[in-house]
Amino acid sequence: CDRLDELVLEAPLVLPAQGGVQVQVVVGDADTPAAAGARRRSVAVYARLDGQDAWTRHATGVMSATAPHAAQDQADGVFDPVSQAWPAPGATELDTSQFYEQLSEGGFLAYGPVFQGLSRAWQRGDQILAEVELPEAGRGLAESFGIHPALLDAALHPTVFAGLDSARDGGLPFTFTDVVLRASGASRLRVALTRTGPDEVAIAVADSTGLPVLSIGSLTVRPLTAEGLTTGTSDGALLRMQWIDIPAPSAVPAQEWVVVDRGGSVGAVYADLQAADAALEGGAAAPPQAVVLAVSGDSHAVV
């Protein structure tokens, strides 16, 4: 399965200051092929802190196999803006000199040196063009990945310039659709990002020569609060049931009751609730503190 049809990031995975995290990726069985002949498989990503028993699901998705020629035909169209003159004519360069410092000052996310890969960016209408690269210290590992995680993350940083509603408030990736990796081992990338909705962009990625590397049909960004960044329970304790005492209200004196009973029991004033309601609305008695409805096993009360 070389195409990620959809991936939904349900919860960020935050590494603890000490200790490790176990990660589990579960791939489902292939379903019955659709009319187009592509089989689909479910995928889910779980994690748990060392010492804990419970697993947290962080992402779910669906992947499938690409038709032999359809993928390349689509790639040719997606990467036209990247493979032509770079940057595209008419693009205005954006100031990225203090990009990561401003992100750190404006929110609660600070990027380490390896993740500060955005070097230049341009804007042309609804399109953002950018160049990202791994720092010298990280380039030795680039060929070990389909795409280096820090480089992939840097390729998403230009969403800050796209005017997305969520990105302005510290948004993080939420949903990916139609993701295809077309080449591996790159350490420098060109990124063409096109806004397609209030919180949505399409992304095409190429290497430094313009050859396709990655395409993302749609990336949706959502805002994230500081409370959303958690490693789970800090002390490893699981949720448990606990009895909570609720103070009982003071007893209502009997003289402030209104007793309703169709059977005419001792102390009953009204035969049914409708009679009691009509009498009280008519001012026959002061509003009571309590209405007592006598119900026996063969009675049928309608409230």
Where do you find CATH 3.10.129.110 in the chain?
68-228
What are the tens digits of pLDDT across the range 97-156?
999 998 888 665 788 899 999 999 999 988 999 999 998 877 888 889 999 999 999 999
Strand partners, 292: 259
Superfamily of domain 68-228: Polyketide synthase dehydratase (3.10.129.110)
Report whether 122 contacts 92 (CB < 8 A): yes
What are the tens digits of pLDDT across the range 56-106?
999 999 999 875 544 444 445 545 544 467 888 889 999 999 999 988 886
d(CA 199, CA 12): 18
Report whether 45 contacts 23 (CB < 8 A): yes
Q: Is the pLDDT of residue 269 over 60?
A: yes
What are the tens digits of pLDDT across the range 16-45?
888 999 999 999 998 866 555 678 999 999
Report how far Cα 44 is from the mean position of its chain's Cα atoms: 14
Report how far Cα 285 is from the mean position of its chain's Cα atoms: 58
Q: What is the pLDDT of residue 134?
A: 94
Half-sphere exposure of 224 (CA within 13 A, CB side): 20
Single-letter residue type at 125: G
Q: And the tokens for 226?
A: 């500081």
DSSP state of 210: S
Q: What is the pLDDT of residue 260?
A: 82
